[in-house]
Structure 1
Amino acid sequence: MLDWLGYRKELIGRIGEIGKLSPDTLKGYQTLSGAGEKTGHLDAKTRELISLAVAVTTRCDGCITVHTGEALKHGATREEIAEALGVAVAMNAGAAIVFSARVMDAVNAHSGS
């Protein structure tokens, strides 16, 4: 397994380097990241649980380490995190079923059915 805390620290440093080379890119990301907070429709914990589920579906280790820390900071429990991850698992399985149907459609097109 990863040294998640060490990885997070290294990642933040590398992102800082990108920010120095391309400040508007980082600023744009920060604007997108903070947009949800301004609406007030979801609390911070819920946004972090969603972020963890999306991190799993997009296979982003950096997202996992950052949003795990934030979810815990905002009071998420292990059980809530596990439930959010269960949603990610179900969504990935659902997407596989949907894309399996697309494959079968392609099979039909290629075989003249």
Structure 2
Amino acid sequence: MQDWNGYRDVLMSRVGEFAKLSPDSMKGLMMVEQGVTKSGLLDPKVMELIALAVAVTTRCDGCISVHAQKAISLGLTREEIAQAMAFTIFMNSGAALTYTARVFDVIDALPEN
């Protein structure tokens, strides 16, 4: 397994370096984050579970590292996270099934040989 704490530290350092090089893009990203969180309609724990689900399905190690740490800091339990990840696995396999239909759509659309 990876040294996730070290990885996250290096990642955040690199993000900080990028922020200095492109402060306006980072400000824009922060504005988006504030815009989606300020309503308070979703509990921060729920938002972190969504973030983890997206991180897993997009295979983003940086996002996984940051949002897993934040989920724990918000008091989510391993069991709660496991249930969310189980649902993520279920949904991702459902997406694969749905996109499998596209494969056959393409095959059916091919000109006859």
Q: Please, what TM-score do these two structures have when normalized by structure 1? A: 0.94
Equivalent residue, structure 2, for 1:21? 21
| Offset, 1:36 | 2.6
- Cα distance between partner residues in 1 of 2:88 and 2:76: 16
Equivalent residue, structure 2, for 1:108? 108
- Cα distance between partner residues in 1 of 2:34 and 2:60: 19
Equivalent residue, structure 1, for 2:96? 96
Q: Residue type matched to 2:97 in 1? A: I
C-alpha offsets along residues 35-80 of structure 1, whole Å, 9 cap, x if unaligned?
2321111111110011111100010000011001110111100011
User: How many equivalent pairs are there?
Assistant: 112
Where does structure 2 lack aligned partners over 5 or more consecutive residues?
Answer: none
Aligned-CA RMSD value: 1.1
Equivalent residue, structure 2, for 1:55? 55
Q: Please, what TM-score do these two structures have when normalized by structure 2? A: 0.94
- % of aligned pairs identical? 53
Tell whether 2:37 aligns with 1:37.
yes
Q: Residue type matched to 1:28 in 2? A: G
- Cα distance between partner residues in 1 of 2:34 and 2:54: 16
**In structure 2, the residue corresponding to 1:42 is in which secondary structure?**
coil
**In structure 2, the residue corresponding to 1:56 is in which secondary structure?**
helix
| Offset, 1:92 | 1.2
Tell whether 2:81 aligns with 1:76.
no
Equivalent residue, structure 1, for 2:67? 67
